[in-house]
Structure formats: C-alpha cells, structure tokens
Structure 1
Amino acid sequence: MPFPFTLPTTSSISFPDFFSSSTHPSLPLTATSRRAVLRSALKSHKRLPSSSRASNLPSILAALNDYIPYLFALDAGVSGIPVAGEEIDVVLVKELQVEWRVVLSATTPGRESPRVKLKSLDSEVFFVLSTLGYTYCLLARAQLHTLALQNASSTSTEQRAGAIAGAMKNLIAANSVFTYLVARSQHNQPPASVPDISQAVLSGLASMTLAEATLITVLKDDPYPAVVSEQRNKESKDWMFKNPDIPKVRAHLFARLCLAAAEHASRAQGMLGNGGGTKVDADLLEYCDDLKRTAKAKACRFFGIDTELEGKTGEGIAWLRGAKKELGFTGGSDEDKRKFGAFSKLKKDWAEKREDKRIEKGGEWGGDAGRFEEGRVIEMLEKKWVKENDTVNVQLIPQYEPLVANMPSGREYHTPKPYQAPTLDEDIIAQMRAPPDPNDIAYQTVDDDSDAEESQSEPVGAFPGTKDQYSASTSSYY
C-alpha cells in the first residue's frame, strides 16, 4: 500500500509542427523542450532497477511540474482562454499525433504493454496528469516503506508521524488529480479504447486513492502494527524486560473510518472492473479487492477492541474471527478449520514470507494492500484474548456473522480540494512574445523515437523480459 504503479513512457513530438502562435511564437517550442525533459526522465526512470526508482521520483515530479504549465498554456490558447490575464492565440496547423505506453491495460504475461497512438491535445493532457497522479502514489509508497520493514519499531515517533503525514498529503494530491480528470472527461471525452484515460478507470483511481488516504489516517494513531513489527524484529530485546505499551485508541471512530475506506475501495473495484470496455490489469483489480478486504477487516478489529475495552472479551473474539473471514483467512471456529484445513494456513504463510522478501528488497512490495500485516495483528490479538478468556473471563463467544452483517455506515474524514491547473507567470508569458531563436537547442536536438531500443525483438532463445542481460559480444553463437 499504495499500489505500485508503473510510470508510462512516450514518443517524441515537436509542437511547432502542430501548433503556431502569432501572439506568443516561442510557446510551442518552449513546450517542446520541457516535454523532451520529461520524456527523457521517464525513459531513464524505466531503466533503473526497481529498488532505485523510489529515490528518482522527485526528479520525475519536477519534470512534470515544469512541463504541465506550458501544456495548459497551449490548451488555453487553442480554447481561447486567457493565461495570467493575457490572450494567447494558438492555431492548430495539423492534428496532433503522439504515442503513450499504456500501463493499466491487461497484457499477455511476459510481454510489455503496447503504445497507443493519440490524436488530440486533450489526450496528451490526460496522460500527463495521470502520470502525475501515479507519481504522487509512488511517492506515498516510498514514504511508507520504512514503516513496513521488520525493524520499523526503531523508527522514532516524529519520523513515523512525518512519513504518514507526507504519504497522506501525496495520496490526497493524487486523488485531486484523478478527480479533476474525471470532471474534465465529462466535457472532453477521452478515447474509450484506451483504458488508462477512460472515465471509468479514472473514477476508480480517484476512489482507490481516497480509500488509501483514509486508511492512512487510521494508521497514524493505530499502535498495533508497530507492536507486531516489534515482536517480529529479531534484533529487538525489549520482550525480555517489558510488555509492549499499547495506548487506548478511539476504536469506534477508527472503525467507521475504515468502513468508509472499504466503501471507496469497493466502488473503485467496480469502476475498474468496467475498464471503459477493455480489460484492466489483473494486479490492479486484485489490489482493490485486497484493499476492500483489509479496510473491512480493520473495521471489525476496531469494533472488537471497542467491545473488549468494555469487558466483553467473548464478543471481541467474535469480531476478530469475523475480521479473519473478511481477509479470506481461516477463521477461528471449528467449522472454518475443518473447511479450510492446514493447507490454507501453509499457503498463507508462504505468501507472507514472499511479501516480506519484497519489502526488504524495496521492489514491487505492497501488492496485498496491507492484507497480510492486518492478518498478523488480528492473530496476535486473538491469541491474547482467547488466552485471557479461557483463564479469567470465561465468556461465551458468539457467532460473528450477525455482528458483521449489522455494522454501521462509514464516516468520511478527508475533503479533498480540487486540482488547480497551474498557469505560467506573467513574466514568462511576456518572454514568449519574442520569436523563437533558430539556434535554440530544441531546434537542433534530434530526438529518437520513444523506447526505440525497447521495441527490438528479444534475443533468440531468451526468456521474455531478459534481453538486457544479453550484450552484443554474447549474442552470437561463436
């Protein structure tokens, strides 16, 4: 958590070939140079190993923020909208043609997603802003990575609060971007055949990021994941001399927030399942399902904590078993154990270890939306409460189905602000009144087609996706 998006790449274009401006003739060329920087940054980011991409995200964000104001200036000029109080006349010379690589469409395993040809400036706006939303989500992932490590208990309270606040801010920014694109798509309908910028997928991404931001709100004051991380930290010796300190939490409020997150995740799953008429990546759909399960299980856990604090340990255990059922793990009742058996537990343990390795390597972790981590918290509490109930309280454990079925509605926490399209400053607009300089580097740089080297065929006999491991000296038979 959040979802590990892949940033798209794009082809090279020259805006002066498609647009001209009598009032600000330097605008198309300047926009071209800014876009070339972004394109180069995206290509370089794609070539980095997965463990090194997080540190490169600020450069991607900077390139996007440098290019987007010029892109919106072109769009405003074509639409006859003033920029910084100044009229910009932009004339369409011929229809814009650009290519972007889709990253959310379902593809054949082992093959890279294809590039799609687009023929409007609106499509360029949709893809660039979608890339901005993906970047905000990836920045939130990078900030939360330290909290997912097994030694996260060594993180100070200030560092933990800073990481969570930064991640929440980035997710809210991503939600604002996707919500803006949804509103824009109602007036400028993007191509229905491209799932990445279809209205259904953009709506799903907006709901998904809002669900993630709501869950992070709960994570800020939830002490139990840190306790589980401390218990699993092999280097920690605190268990020898003290019990973990678990402060009281506003359990009922947190449960309502988690239910709101589950509702947003369910809505995202439904919208992404539509996909605008095309199939969306199965990993994204599975992530939304895990996100919904995790949010609902957290709600059950907090309802259980609330009842346990009132002395109703038996009902609290029932809530925990309902939470395990929501996660899709083996429940605590004898019927569940007979139904699922030991194989289900073995499969779950293997999946948890695989996810732990991904977290330690810093690669494509978090595809389970925190589902395994929540399962560990629930198992810790269930073991503790069952022991107390068997030795002290001796209360009957009711069935969890009626409890889960009668949960209240969710409660919203965030009120995201709409994304404000950035505009160029007046002095920059004034500078572009001058005609373009023929000696400008943007005129002289011949940019090759996007990912040209990546479109080459795989070496003979190579496993798909491993052509980078083959060099010219090793490609021949002799």
Structure 2
Amino acid sequence: MPFPFILPTTSSFSFSSSFTCESHPSLPLNTSTHRGVVKDSLKKHKRLPATSQNPNLPSILSNLNNYLPYLLAIDAGLSNKAISGEEVSVVLTSNPTIEWRPTLSDHAVPGKEIARVKVQSIEYELFFALSAVGYTHTLLARASLHPLYVTSGVPLSTQERTTAITTATKHLLDAASVHDYLARRAEGWVTTPPCADISQSIARAMSSLALAEATLLAVLKDDPYPAVVAQDRNDNDREWMYKAPEIPKVRAHLFARLCLAAADHAGQASSLCQSQGRGPSKLNEGLLRYLEDFRKTSRAKACRFFGIDAELGGQTGNALGWLRCGLQELGVESKETKKGISLTRMKKDWSERREDKKVERGTNWGADAGRVEETRVIEMLEAKWTKINDTMMTQTVPPPGTLLASLPSGREIHAVKPYQLPDLGRESLEAMRAPPDRSDDFGDEQFSSDEDTVVETPVGAFPGTSDEYRSASTRSYY
C-alpha cells in the first residue's frame, strides 16, 4: 500500500510539425523542449534499478509540472483562449501522431511488454501527462511509507511515523485531485480513447483508489497495533527488554467507520475497472487483484476495530466474533476453528515470508494491499483475547454472519479538492512573442526503444576506441 504504479513512457514529438502560433511563435518550440525533458526523464527512470527509482521521483514530478503549462497553452490556443490575460492563437497544421506506452492495460502476449499506442489528439497527450503526475504522487506516497514497514532497521519514533504518514496522505490527495480532474474533463469526450489507461472510467477509479488509500492512512496514523506487530518482528528492537509495548486506547468506532468508507471507495474503483471487460480494454490483473484485496483488507480492519470497541466494553465474546469476521473477510482460517496442519495456513505463512522479503528489498512491496499485515494484527489479538476468554470471561462467541449484518455505513474524512491547472506566467508568454532562435528538430530524433540500455566501454578497451569493438551488422559487442 499504495499501489506500485509503473510510469508510462513516450516517443519523441515536434510540436512545430503540427502546430503554429501566430501570437507567440516560440510556443511550439518551447513546448517541444520541455516535452523532450519529460520523455528522457521517464525513459531513464524506467531503466534505473528499483532501489534508485524512489529518489528520482521528485525530478520526474518537477519535469512534468514544467511541461504542463506549455501543453495547456497549446490546448488553450487552439480555442483562442486567453492565458494570464493574453490572447494565444494556435493553428493546427496537421494531425499530431504521438506514441505512449500504457501501463495499466493488460498484456496482449504474456511475458511481453505491451505495445505503444498512437494518439492523434492533444487531449490524449494531456491525459497521459496528467495521469503520469497522479501516478508519481502515489509513488511518492509509497516512498514516504516504506520506512514504516522495514523491520531490519531501527524502528521509527512516533514523530517520524506521523510525519511519514502525513506526507503520504498529502501526495495521495493530490493524486486523487489530478485523476478527478481528468474524469470530469473526459465527460465531454465524443471519441473512444485508444486504450483503457486514458478512459473516463479508469480516471474515476484511480481517483477513488487514491481517496481510499488516503482515508486508510488517517486510521494508520493513530493505529498502534501494526507498529506493535512490526516491532515484535524487528531484530534490532531492544525495547521489549525493559517495558511492554504501549497500546493507547483508540477511537475504535470512528476508525471502523473510516475503514468502511475506504472499503466503499475501493469497491467503487474495482467495479469501474471490472467494467472494462476483456480484449484490448482489459486492465492488468495485478491492479484488479489489488483493488479487491484493498476492499477486503479495509473491511477486515473495520471488523478489528469493532472488536477492539467490544473488548474495551468487556464483551470479549463479541470481540472474538468480530476478529473472526475480519479473518473471514481476508479469506484466512482462524487458528481456533482450524487446528493441526493446514495447507491453507502453510500457503499463508509462505506468502508472509515472501512479502517481508519484498519490503526489505523495496521492490513491489504492498501489492497485497496490506492483507499480510492486517492478518498478523488480527491473529495477535485473537490469540490474546482467546486466552482471556477461556480462562476468565468464558463468553459465547457469536457467529460472524450475525455481526456482519450489523455493520454501519462508512464515514468520510477527506474531500477531494479541485485540481489547479498550472499556468504560464506573463513574463514567459512575453518572451515567446519573439521568433524561435532555432529549429524544432525533436521529431527528427531516432525513435529508441524503452528497453535500450546504455552500452559502456568494454573492459580493457583503449579510451575512444569502443566503436571498434562493435559489429557493423548487429551494432553489438563481440
């Protein structure tokens, strides 16, 4: 948590080949310049190892935000709209042909990367660029939250934990705002987009997903139990030697309703993504599975908090019933109802170890939407409360179906703010009234594959003679 998006990549494109601007002749050239920076940064980011991608995300976001004002100026100029009080007139001379590689659509051939799609509209170009902004905000949220789940280092202090969650929440709300703007903008489309990534329903789904993740972070900030479970697995923690972990009382009923609201948003996102159907418009199975897991995990958290509320009131039997409701939502067998050797539990233990390794490596962690973490918390509480109920309370545990029928509605805590489009300043517009000082040759660059790697000089080669070690036919080293 949050979802590990992959940033899209794109081809070269010269705006001067399809647009002219009489009022600001240098606008197409400057737009191509900033787009070239975005293209190179996205391609280099994809080639970086997973451990080096997180520090590169702020640069990606900055380059996208620098490009968007110029792209929006082109879009506004086609309708002769004013920008910063100045009239901009852009004329379309030929239909643009731009290539983007989508990342949410399903692979047509398993094991092979999905092919690029051609877009012939500035509207779709803007949609891809803004979608990349939303994905980058989500990835920045992941980078901020990663230290919370690492168990090989020193545990974070309360202040550090709060700062990380607050930063991640801000990024997720920004992502929800961007996707919400795209969904509203796409309502007026009369053409069918070339891929599912830039459809109106997927934009609405991504906005709902980001809002659901931000809502769950509001609970995580004051939820002490995940930190206690992680602390118990941390070999570097020595606090257990001199004091037991402090578990303050929580606003259990409020947190439960927040979790139900997050589950509702995730369910809405899952329904919108499932509606894409099959074929070219089908989405990646990993995303669909994550959305469903997120919904189940949120409902399981709600059940846990209802159990905590019942336990605080002395109703240990009801508390255990709620915990078993949570395990039922997660699809996990209770240790009390299924004793002995179980293949399902062996598979679960193996999944937990695999997820721990992903967290330590920082690669593709959280793709299970927090199911492993929530399962550990519920099982810890179930073992503790079962011991109390068997020795002291001896209360009857109600069946899960009876308790699930009494679930209340969710409660919202965040509101998606309108996305503020970046505008070009008056000084930048004035500077582009002059004719361009060079030609716009970005479209003449040789199209290169995203998978191309930089070939270094062979070991032992004399400096400056690397070309002599390459085959003229294959352009590869012997």
Structure 1 residues 431 and 366, CA, compared in 2 at 3 Å: closer, same or farther? same
Query: Paired residue for 2:309, among 284, 306, 310?
Result: 306
Partner of 1:468: none
Q: Is the 8 A contact 1:222 1:249 kept in 2?
A: yes
Unaligned ranges ≥5, structure 1: 456-470
Unaligned ranges ≥5, structure 2: 454-468
Taking the aligned partners of 1:279 and 1:428, their CA distance within structure 2 comes to: 42
Amino acid in structure 1 at the alignment position of 2:185 = R
Amino acid in structure 2 at the alignment position of 1:364 = N
Query: Paired residue for 1:316, among 319, 322, 337?
Result: 319
Q: Is it true that 1:171 corresponds to 2:169 in the alignment?
A: no
Taking the aligned partners of 1:46 and 1:139, their CA distance within structure 2 comes to: 15
**Which secondary structure state, in structure 1, belongs to the residue aligned with residue 78 of structure 2?**
helix
Partner of 1:69: 69
Offset from partner CA, 1:407-450 (integer Å, 9 cap, x none): 00000110110111110011111111111112x6x548953214
Q: CA deviation at 1:276?
A: 7.0
Taking the aligned partners of 1:133 and 1:127, their CA distance within structure 2 comes to: 10
- TM-score, normalising length from structure 2? 0.92
Taking the aligned partners of 1:259 and 1:445, their CA distance within structure 2 comes to: 50
Taking the aligned partners of 1:289 and 1:380, their CA distance within structure 2 comes to: 24
Structure 1 residues 393 and 125, CA, compared in 2 at 3 Å: closer, same or farther? same
Identity %: 51
Summarize the alignment of residues 9-20 of structure 1 with structure 2, pairs less than 5 Å apart: 9-20=9-20
Q: Is it true that 1:328 corresponds to 2:326 in the alignment?
A: no
Taking the aligned partners of 1:165 and 1:293, their CA distance within structure 2 comes to: 24
Partner of 1:260: 261
Structure 1 residues 156 and 94, CA, compared in 2 at 3 Å: closer, same or farther? same
Partner of 2:272: 271
Query: Paired residue for 1:449, among 444, 447, 450?
Result: 447
Partner of 2:95: 95
Q: How many residues align?
A: 458
Taking the aligned partners of 2:235 and 2:226, their CA distance within structure 1 comes to: 16
Partner of 1:384: 384
Summarize the alignment of residues 352-367 of structure 1 with structure 2, pairs less than 5 Å apart: 352-367=352-367
Runs of 4+ displaced beyond 6 Å: 471-478
Q: CA deviation at 1:188?
A: 3.0
Taking the aligned partners of 1:395 and 1:356, their CA distance within structure 2 comes to: 36
Summarize the alignment of residues 106-125 of structure 1 with structure 2, pairs less than 5 Å apart: 106-107=106-107, 108-125=109-126
Moved more, 144-153 or 309-318: 144-153
**Which secondary structure state, in structure 1, belongs to the residue aligned with residue 9 of structure 2?**
coil
Q: Is it true that 1:57 corresponds to 2:57 in the alignment?
A: yes
Query: Paired residue for 2:300, among 293, 297, 302?
Result: 297
Partner of 1:462: none
Taking the aligned partners of 1:428 and 1:475, their CA distance within structure 2 comes to: 43
Structure 1 residues 137 and 410, CA, compared in 2 at 3 Å: closer, same or farther? same
Taking the aligned partners of 2:200 and 2:172, their CA distance within structure 1 comes to: 19
RMSD after superposition: 2.2
**Which secondary structure state, in structure 2, belongs to the residue aligned with residue 20 of structure 1?**
strand
Q: CA deviation at 1:139?
A: 0.4
Partner of 1:458: none
Summarize the alignment of residues 19-418 of structure 1 with structure 2, pairs less than 5 Å apart: 19-107=19-107, 108-151=109-152, 154-189=155-190, 191-275=192-276, 278-332=281-335, 334=337, 337=338, 342-418=342-418
Taking the aligned partners of 1:472 and 1:249, their CA distance within structure 2 comes to: 66
Amino acid in structure 2 at the alignment position of 1:423 = D
Q: CA deviation at 1:190?
A: 5.8
Structure 1 residues 75 and 93, CA, compared in 2 at 3 Å: closer, same or farther? same
Q: CA deviation at 1:354?
A: 0.6
